[in-house]
Amino acid sequence: MALGDVLDPSAAIANDIEGPGPDAGLLAGKTIGIRLDEIWRAWDWITELWATEFRAAGATVIFWRSSQGRTGTEGERIAAELEDFLGKIDIAVVGLANCGSCTGWTIRDALEAANAELPTTAVCTENFTELAQALSRRGGRSGLRLHVLPYPLNECERDYVDAVAREHLPGMLQTMGAALNVALDEAV
């Protein structure tokens, strides 16, 4: 046996931003944009409940529903819609990373929001956390805010999902660096 040199077959990694980006802060008076998708009804239910709380705190909430069709003319339409959506909001909540490719698109859209200097939080389910983190890191933002929901979720009944939404609201606000009112703002 002989020692020798072999050439590394792997490729370089992009530069990284380790910080989470700006806090969402006090929600009153701000427009929160929530990205939905066509697949996960559980994410619709969760964001419906969260939106009620955000509105009660004085925020405006708008929704944008993405699709998995990110290619061809459908892809061009979705890209234009995303750009328009990001232009209308102050805070981005992007989900749901609950499958392989949709984790990819969730993180891509979240990175786009974060790169537009918006306070941005991506939301994934537990089993896709590692992928979401890897994609954030490889996308140049290892510090991207990521809130983790339990898995499985979409397979569960509405009552359970609503309970998850209520239980996770404080943690979600913490991840966002957000507060529903002044007192909480001080706490954050």
Partner 1 sequence: MSIVIAPRQAGQTANKETPNLRDCGPEGCDIDWLSSQRHATEVDDIVAFTQYALDQGWGDGLPLVPPTEARVRQFLSKNNRYADELICRLPPLDGEATVEKIAINAVMAGAEPAALPVIIAALEAMAIEDFELFGQNTTTAPVYPVTVVNGAVRDRLDIPYKHGCLGGHATRAAAIGRAIRLVMRNIAGQVPNVTSQTTFGSPGRVGGVVFGEWEERSPWAPLAERRGVAGDAVTVFGAMGTMNILDTTSQGGLEFVEMIGKSLGYPGANGFSPAMPFAEMLVAVNPIWAEIIHRDIPSLEDVQELLWRHSSLDADYLTPQHRGQLDAQGRVIDDRVYLATQPKDIYVLVAGGTGGLHATGFHSFGSCLTQTVAVLPGPELD
| Torsion angle of C-alpha atoms 179, 34, 144, 22, degrees rounded to 10 | -40
CA distance 85 to 153: 26
The CA R_g of the chain, rounded to the nearest whole Å, is 18
Question: What are the phi and psi torsion angles at 24 (to 5°)?
Answer: -75, -30
Report, in Å, the least distance between residue 34 CB and partner 1.
19
147 belongs to the binding site for partner 1 (CB under 8 A): no
The structure tokens listed for 56 are 């009660």
Window contacting partner 1 (CB under 8 A); options: 23-31, 49-57, 117-125, 129-137: 129-137
User: In the stretch 22-61, what mask flags binding to partner 1 with x, by CB under 8 A?
Assistant: ----------------xx----------------------
SS3 state of residue 65: strand
CA 123 – CA 10 distance, rounded (Å): 30
Q: Which stretch binds partner 1 (CB under 8 A): 20-28, 54-62, 95-103, 109-117?
A: 95-103
**Residue 33, token pair as written in the block:** 């944009």
Q: Does 9 bind partner 1 (CB under 8 A)?
A: yes
Among 83, 84, 126, 130, binds partner 1 (CB under 8 A): 130
138/147 with CB nearer partner 1: 138
Alpha-carbon distance of 54 to 172, in angstroms, equals 12
In the complex, the residues that contact partner 1 under the rule CB under 8 A are 1-14, 38-39, 67-72, 74-75, 99-105, 108, 127-128, 130-131, 134-135, 138-139
